Amino acid sequence: MAGPLHGLRVVELAGIGPAPFAAMLLADLGADVVRVDRPGPGSPLSVDPARDLLNRGKRSVVADLKTPAGVDLVLTLAARADVLIEGWRPGVAERLGVGPDPVLARNPLLVYGRMTGWGQDGPLAHTAGHDIGYLALSGALHPIGRAGGPPQVPVNLLGDFAGGSLYLVVGVLAALRSGRGQVVDAAVVDGAAHLTTLLHGLLAAGAWRDERGVNLLDTGAPQYDVYRTADGGHMAVGALEPAFFAEFVRLLGVSDGPDLRADIATAFAGRTREEWVKVFAGSDACVAPVLSLREATRDPHLVARGTFVDRDGVVQPAPAPRFSATPASLGRPPALPGADAGDVLAEWEA
């Protein structure tokens, strides 16, 4: 199965952070993604290339962009591609000779996707940063946590991947739909701010307080929270609607009252997580066990849907979303740097 993006050619200038995930998502959906790696060892934070799942489905060539030959290779690939993605600081691609001007001169219809934390302009554009800082400045970090406590760090899923990678992919696909060659400036800080649109609407309507842990969706409500079980596990509760809440308190064995949060916590602490899973199984109480990464791969619902797949002994999320007419499938395993140098140019001649 080729996937909905079959035939799309993407050049990815290798880097770290959300750009590789964006390129992986395009590859998952069927695009032919060629990663241009730098010669020599990778980043000190790099994992074994054969286990770097952000590079699955891609092919790799190596180019030294400090040499004319390396720059020419990138420009040659870009001339035959539909999309180029880079995730460097503003100005780096221009200094290396592979910025938007020379690339679009070679291929005026190409979409040039740029992924940064702070954006291509603005006072912070050229300063270093990481996911947590982009979330902090955008307002997205402040609501996450409990009343009286500090903001909690949501790994780097909310900033790098939700506010960064996914917005880059949306921007690239929208630009392709426009039929015009152009530059897409995707910044994590912009995407993270955009993700708070609902909260800004609630704030304007007087339905949200600009405080942490006092609102309906931020642990301010006892029926939307996480509770510890007898064995040290946790159950997540999201029984917001009246019918679901009634089902929840009935099965939990508590009644709605002034001490509801304490009553819920006491009840959950009386049984193990698996015992509570059986209690709420098949109900509309909106209760689910909090599973670890490894546990999630064995959950019966996710197993039935094929949400995770095993490729060469590495269990990993399957491509998402799903398509009825052009289903995506897991592509080639992560490419070793330079492994495809002999094939890519020849195949991209057409």
How far apart CA 29 and CA 238 sit, in angstroms, is: 32
**Of 169, 163, 160, 172, residue with least CA distance to 191:** 163
* Residues in CB range of 12: below 8 A, 6 or more apart: 19, 20, 23, 33, 34, 35, 36, 58, 84, 85, 86
Residue the block writes with tokens 């390129």: 23
Catalytic one of 130, 210, 259, 343? 130
Catalytic one of 28, 52, 131, 160? 160
Give the relative orientation of helices 131-138 and 188-195 as an angle to the nearest 10 degrees. 50
Which tokens in the block code for residue 136? 């902090």
Phi and psi (nearest 5°) for 136?
Answer: -60, -45
Phi and psi (nearest 5°) for 224?
Answer: -140, 80
How far apart CA 322 and CA 152 sit, in angstroms, is: 32
160 has catalytic annotation? yes
- Extended beta strands in the chain, E state: 9-13, 32-37, 58-62, 83-86, 111-116, 182-187, 224-228, 234-238, 287-289, 308-311, 314-317
52 has catalytic annotation? no
How far apart CA 16 and CA 292 sit, in angstroms, is: 25
- Secondary structure element (H or E) that encloses residue 193, with its range: helix 188-195
- List active site positions: 130, 160
